[in-house]
Amino acid sequence: MFVRRRGKSYEAVCKKKGYGRKSKTFKTKHAAKAWGTKTQGEMDDHKFIDTRESRSVLMENIIDDLIYSFERFGLAIAGPKLGQLHQLKKYFTGVSIHDLTFDDVLDFAAHRRKTVGASTLQTQMYYLKQAVVNSRIKTEHPVVDMAIDELKKKKLIMGSKKRDRRLEPGEYEALMNGAGGHWISAAIDIALASAMRQGEIHALKWSDINESKGVIRLKRKDKDAETGQSEQKIPMVQGVREALLRAHNVFGQGPHLIPVKRSASISDKFARLTKKLGIVDLRFHDLRHEAISRMFERGMRVEQVRVVSGHRTLEQLSRYVNLRPEDLAGM
């Protein structure tokens, strides 16, 4: 490290293999030396973070990139979640990653908590974190992580409560009769047989189904931490082939199983159907709970169900298991 005079200013220059040459100009020699000593020390200890790139990257751009990354992997975002991303984009428009502060994130959280609950806010905070991580832009301080930790301490964000809603006797028949020949009937059948998520069903193409091997290929938005794979293969367990066959007989003309443009159309149509039928407090995502619970009731082991559901941990899987005592009687 060295400091040299440049006219009326002083320039500190640091060099290190792997970092290249870094310099900064100051009004005083003392300030230049202080910065140079600190920066050179960080380089020598391999702790230096070059934040110059982060000054030119705007928050609205990295949020757009996150939305694109979902779409690139065929994981269309449901309407409400897409709205949450656009709210983030609108609030932080004009702010660079470099200028984003801890207080900025907390101010956003305080603003949103006036109208949404802790669970919704948590989703938005993790979207914000994912956008920053997805950008791969290096920042000096992990302000989003710090803000999330602070909000957790104050209990201003938290996960959603575990739901235990399952289909009651007669509800499946009512849904099928009410749906008639509409594509929502195929979506319901596939969800109940495979435990697939709404976005996965929406993105599923006929070409993703390997009938001879009995597996369905699902695209992931990120690589699996253990396998490094960017796709997941799930077995066609009991009922899946039949559900796919029914869907093919009615909607087999196009490339996708469910012929709708938006993933949110599935949950929207399901909500309208249940309202018309007078079925209370049943969401499309509850069908995933129902499917997983049925797998355990059929005697499948935890390891087998995890392969189908795609859950990485037992804790994640346990949130979806809602066994009924009456269904276990006599086992």
Residue 265 lies in a domain: yes
Q: Looking at residue 226, what is its pLDDT?
A: 47
The encoded tokens of residue 206 equal: 């006929």
User: In the listed set 126, 153, 180, which residue is the last one of a domain according to the structure?
Assistant: 153
The answer as to whether 53 is a domain residue is no
15 and 43 belong to one structural domain:
yes
Tell which phi-psi region holds residue 180, choosing left (phi > 0), alpha (psi between -120 and 50) or beta: left
Same-domain check for residues 229 and 292: yes
Is residue 44 included in any domain, yes or no? Answer: yes
Both 16 and 65 in one domain: the answer is no
User: Each residue of 15-40: pLDDT tens digit?
Assistant: 877 667 788 888 889 989 998 998 88
- Within this chain, do residues 209 and 63 fall inside the same structural domain, yes or no? no
Model confidence at 126: pLDDT above 80 = yes
Whether residue 70 is contained in a domain is answered as: yes
pLDDT digits (tens, 9 = 90+) for 307-329: 888 776 666 666 655 555 554 44
Mean pLDDT for the stretch of residues 240-251: 81
Of 119, 153, 187, the last residue of a domain is: 153
- Are 199 and 148 contained in the same domain? no
Task: Residue 200: give its domain's CATH number.
Answer: 1.10.443.10
Mean pLDDT value of segment 254-276: 86
Residues 310 and 190 reside in one and the same domain = yes
For 291-307, what is the mean pLDDT?
A: 85
Question: Residues 116-141: what's their mean pLDDT?
Answer: 80
What span, in angstroms and rounded, lies between the C-alpha atoms of 281 and 165?
A: 8
Domain containing residue 102: CATH number: 1.10.150
What is the pLDDT at residue 75? 53
In a domain, 122, yes or no: yes
Q: Is the domain of 218 the same as that of 109?
A: no
Taking the CA atoms of residue 268, residue 274, residue 279 and residue 285 in that order, the dihedral angle to the nearest 10 degrees is: -40
Tell whether 42 and 96 lie within a shared domain: no
Average the pLDDT over 210-236 and give the result: 72
- pLDDT tens-digit series, residues 196-208: 888 888 888 889 9
Give the C-alpha separation, 165 to 162, whole Å: 9
Q: What's the CA angle centered on 263, arms 257 and 268, to 5 degrees?
A: 110
Mean pLDDT for the chain overall:
81
Shared domain check, 28 and 99: no
- Do 312 and 217 belong together in one domain? yes
* Burial class (CB within 10 angstroms; exposed 0-12, middle 13-18, buried 19+) of 326: exposed
Residue 228 has pLDDT above 90, yes or no: no
Structural domain contains residue 295? yes
184/240 Cα distance (integer angstroms): 16
Calpha distance 133→145 (Å, rounded):
11
262 within domain boundaries:
yes
Position 99 confidence tier, pLDDT thresholds 50, 70, 90: confident
Examine the pLDDT at 170 and tell me if it is beyond 70.
yes
Residue 236 falls within a domain, yes or no? yes
Range of the domain at 18: 2-48
207 and 301 in a single domain? The answer is yes
Count of domains for the chain: 3
**pTM of the predicted model, to two decimals?**
0.53
Q: Is the pLDDT at 69 greater than 80, yes or no?
A: no
Domain identity same for 220 and 298: yes
Q: How confident is the model at residue 225 (pLDDT cuts 50, 70, 90)?
A: very low
